[in-house]
Every structure is written in C-alpha cells, then in structure tokens.
Amino acid sequence: MKNSIKVFASASVGNVACGFDVFGFAVEEPGDEVVMRLANEPGVAISKVTGDDGRLPNSSAKNTAGVAVKAFLDHIGSKKGIEIELHKKMPLGSGLGSSAASAVAAVFAANELLGHPLSRKELLPFAMEGERIACGDAHADNVAPSLLGGFVLIRGYDPLDVIKIPTPQDLFCTIVHPHIEIRTEEARKILPKNIPMKDAIQQWANTAGLVTGMMQSDFDLIGRSLQDVVVEPVRAKLIPGFYSVKKAALDAGALGCSISGSGPSMFALSKNGETAEKIGLAMQGAFAQEKIESTIYVSRINEEGPRDLSRNS
C-alpha cells in the first residue's frame, strides 16, 4: 500500500442548457489537485491549501475535501489518519464545479490510498457530502461527471440513479470564464418555483433530444437540443453581455452555447478542436466589449475522470 498519492480531478459543466439539475459533463481542464498522505495521528487534517487566495476554510470539518474524506472513512470504518494538501488550480465560484473537483479528488485519493475498498460509483455519496458543505445542497451534477468522467444523467436522487451517456469522440467543449462572480445561492434564488407547462414540454423534448444526439453522434441534433427555455432566460441577466457572447459563439460555429452550472462561466460545444478554439476567442472578444476579462479553456469531454498523477512520477 502506498503512503501518499497525488490526484487530479477536473472541472465540470452542470445543467448543459436543457438539463437543469440533471446533466453534467467533465472536461480535461481546469481542475484541482490533491496530495494525500497517511498520517500517524487519526482523523482528517488539511495541512495546506494553495491557489484559493485564502478563501477556503482550512478546518477539515468545513472544507469540502475534508468533509468528503471524513464521510468516506466513517463509512468504511477506517481509523487511519489522513493528511490533505489541496491545490486549487481552477477559479472558485465560477460555475465549473470547483468544490466538486476538490471533493472528488479527495475521496478518489483516499480510496486509492486505502487499497480501493469502494468502486467509483460507490464513492459518489461521499463526494456529495463535500458538495453539501460547499453549496448547502448535496447536488450531484458536478460531482458525478467529475468522479465518473464523461457526460452524466442524474435521473433521480431517491435512490441515487446516475447514468453515463456515451458522447461523440470529436465533441469539443469551449469554456469561457469571465472574471466576475455569481453566488450559487443568488443564482438559485431568482429561479421561479413554477414554470409554464409549455416550456417544460419543450425542455423535456430537448433533454431527450440531447442524449439521443450524443448517443447517435448526431451533431445537428445535439445543436438543436442545446436550448434552455426555462433557466437561461432568468439567469442570463446575471452575466453582463450574455446574449452577445452567446451570439459570438454561435457565429463562430458552436452547436450551442449556454451557462455552465449557475455561471458566470459559459460553455459551447462544437465538433472539432479548431472550431472550439475559434469559439473561445470570439466569446472572449464579446466579454471584452463589456470590459470583462476572461479565461478560455478548450478540451474534449473528459471520459477518464480523476487521474492518479503519482503513478507516472
């Protein structure tokens, strides 16, 4: 058994336009790194946090990664001591599942370090506990794709029912993170409690269309289905220039473009890497018109999930 491990877990795009609260997919970058060691003292300790500008709690009872690992250790009945270094390598509060990436990296690392007692799917509830501390709610739409890799449907929570949807190999994702902040709670608060039946019907036609498009590698269908008539119209106003950024993405060849999670990051899908790069620059340009700086990330869908970085070192 190893004494230490270094794990990378990636960011993820939740909602994916039509699939509010039920779809999410993992990207190849950005993401977080966790270095974990077996410790002499029992319990879970956060020994170091970098890249967070001092914004994350070091107390393991309040830190996403600490809470997730504690829940995992309690479940398997381990008395081992665990020491965690958390290296944030992605923006916080960006709508890219930053807390999920930390929690996933941590439970994945702990599971590897303790001889792999659980499968990946079995780790999900513990990573979700980390999300609960960070967001007040044990949502799975970032945790599940970050942990399992790929494009994921969360069909239900009671019991938890998570399904991986195959995606076309050539599918690329462009993420543009504008350097502004939206609080998840605020983004939730402005959502209506009731919605028109006709919008709901359009939305459930689109979720069915999107998974069909993914499974049949039908890019046109993916594009036609990447429409959110329920949440995007409400949240767009939280992102300055939303509609011009979206238009820039579509004009540059995106299949579709919407808000990543609760924002402010926006994502676009496209069918090759070159177009994905072009889309990123177009979106960044549109944000610049609003005097907003932004960061571009381009990658394929990350089918692999967390990566053991110590394996090759």
Catalytic residues: 131, 184
- Let me know: does 287 contact 294? Beta carbons within 8 Å: yes
Pick the closer one to its own copies by CB: 135 or 245.
135
155 binds its own copies (CB under 8 A): yes
192 binds its own copies (CB under 8 A): yes
Pick the closer one to its own copies by CB: 1 or 197.
197
Query: Coil, strand, or helix at residue 72?
Result: helix
Nearest Cα to Cα of residue 151 among 169, 139, 178: 169
Tell me, rounded to whole angstroms, the distance of Cα 27 from its chain centroid: 8
Strand bridging mode 43-50 / 81-87: parallel
171 binds its own copies (CB under 8 A): no
Q: Which stretch binds its own copies (CB under 8 A): 26-34, 51-59, 157-165, 278-286?
A: 157-165
Pick the closer one to its own copies by CB: 13 or 44.
13
42 binds its own copies (CB under 8 A): no
Look up tokens 């890019």; give the residue. 219
137 binds its own copies (CB under 8 A): no
189 binds its own copies (CB under 8 A): no
208 binds its own copies (CB under 8 A): yes
217 binds its own copies (CB under 8 A): no
Total residues interacting with its own copies, rule: CB under 8 A: 39
Token pair for 296? 């571009």
H or E stretch covering 43: strand 43-50
Q: Sign of the CA dihedral 226, 262, 154, 10?
A: positive
193 binds its own copies (CB under 8 A): yes
In angstroms, rounded to a whole number, what is the distance separating the alpha carbons of residues 134 and 211? 29
229 binds its own copies (CB under 8 A): no
275 binds its own copies (CB under 8 A): no
Q: Which stretch binds its own copies (CB under 8 A): 25-33, 89-97, 205-213, 238-246?
A: 205-213
Beta bridge partners of 175: 267, 297
298 binds its own copies (CB under 8 A): no
Q: How many CB atoms lie within 10 A of CB 201?
A: 11
206 binds its own copies (CB under 8 A): yes
In a 10 Å sphere around its CB, with 0-12 CB exposed, 13-18 middle and 19+ buried, how is residue 281 labelled? Answer: middle
Q: Sign of the CA dihedral 11, 14, 17, 23?
A: positive
With CB under 8 A as the contact rule, the residue among 210, 255, 266, 268 that binds its own copies is: 210
Pick the closer one to its own copies by CB: 166 or 240.
166
At its nearest, how many Å lie between its own copies and the CB of residue 130?
22
**What is 217-277 written as a DSSP string?**
T-HHHHHHH---SSSHHHHGGGSTTHHHHHHHHHHTT-SEEEESTTSS-EEEEESSHHHHH
At its nearest, how many Å lie between its own copies and the CB of residue 145?
14
With CB under 8 A as the contact rule, the residue among 42, 48, 186, 204 that binds its own copies is: 204
Quick note: the x/- pattern for its own copies over 21-40, rule CB under 8 A, is xxx-----------------
Q: Which residues of 218-231 are buried (b: 16+ CB within 10 A; e: fewer)?
A: ebebbbebbbbbbb
274 binds its own copies (CB under 8 A): no
Residues that bind its own copies (CB under 8 A): 18-23, 153-156, 161, 163, 165, 191-197, 200-212, 215-216, 221, 224-225, 230
